[in-house]
Amino acid sequence: MKKLIEQIIKFGFVGFLCFFIDYGIMVFLTEVVGIIYLVSSGISFTVSVVVNYLLSVTFVFETDKNKNKIKEFIIFVFLSVIGLGINQACMWFGVEILGITYLIVKIGATAVVMVYNFISRKLVIEKKD
């Protein structure tokens, strides 16, 4: 149980950092570059996925060192694409249906995706004992 709690804390730190990368890029692309929020959100999410993978396999999850890293990354990306779909659905629903600003909706969308990410990555990426 102690290991799981430590892992959740590390995942939280990585998630927190990646949230700021995701959020910062999204706001920059939307407000400064003028890209529509759904596109900028998709771009920023993708950048944060790569950073998240590198940090997750280095600091959060105990991975099998003999495992094919390319295959592992492809699985990680596949899981992240599902997360992106969840993110985009939350963004669209919050902004277009509920009328909430994308800046606030992104925070809620990130929380939903973070739970999905931890569970899916723990099940698929972590080394099985």
pLDDT tens figures, 9-41:
998 899 889 989 998 999 999 999 999 988 998
pLDDT greater at residue 91 or residue 72:
91
Give the number of C-alpha atoms closer than 13 A to the C-alpha of residue 129, restricted to the C-beta side: 3
pTM score over 0.85 = no
For residue 64, what pLDDT is reported?
76
How confident is the prediction for the chain on average, in pLDDT?
Answer: 89
| Residue 82 predicted with pLDDT over 70 | yes
For residue 129, what pLDDT is reported?
64
Q: Taking the CB of residue 129, how many other CB atoms lie within 10 A of it?
A: 4
Domain ranges of the chain: 2-124
| Residue 66 predicted with pLDDT over 90 | no
Distance CA 25, CA 34 (A): 12
